Amino acid sequence: MSIHVALQHKTRYTYDRAVRLGPQVVRLRPAPHCRTPILSYSLTVEPKGHFVNWQQDPHGNFQARIVFPNPVDRFIVDVDLIADLSVQNPFDFFLEPEAEQFPFSYAPELAGELEPFLRPEEAGPLLQSWLDSLPERTGSTVQYLVALNHRLRQEIEYLIRMEPGVQSCEETLRRGKGSCRDTG
């Protein structure tokens, strides 16, 4: 059984006089690779008389580039979305045979594409201590990830954080608390 959730996002800017806006980029559309079924989506922009060009960023995320050829006294973006929140098996994915056992190496052409994401940042003392305490990284990749996530769940209390941004690893480990974006 699934739950249908309706979301509405509205951003409104009003100006005390007509202004010229440069191109506006709006990133309020689910990614095409999103696993949650999107039953309906609409983007409404005011005032009328604008042009919308849908583009994709280098990561495959949709973004609307909106151009107003004439001055405007307001800029309103309204997104309505209905999502099907059905239960999904988080382990319903495919691993290449060479990645089933950890550690593994990426093929050279893929390693080049992933290089910006594989470049580690310098670890602070709390993170380095936490990393040093991890068990040896061998065996099933999936089992290792499950164990890693289980440990994070035990050591970091989940909380809903309304502040913007991501806490540093040091802050999350020091507090022992964080939102999902802080432990990702």
In the chain, pLDDT over 90 holds for what percent of residues? 53
- Note the pLDDT tens digit of each residue in 39-79: 999 999 999 999 999 999 888 899 999 999 999 999 999 99
| CA angle, residues 26, 183, 139, in degrees to nearest 5 | 120
Joined together, the tokens standing for residue 49 give 């008389």
* Residue 148 · residue 134 · CB < 8 Å: yes
Give this prediction's pTM: 0.61
Domains in the chain: boundaries: 3-85, 97-183
* Helix or strand run (H / E) with residue 132: helix 125-132
Amino acid at site 135 = P
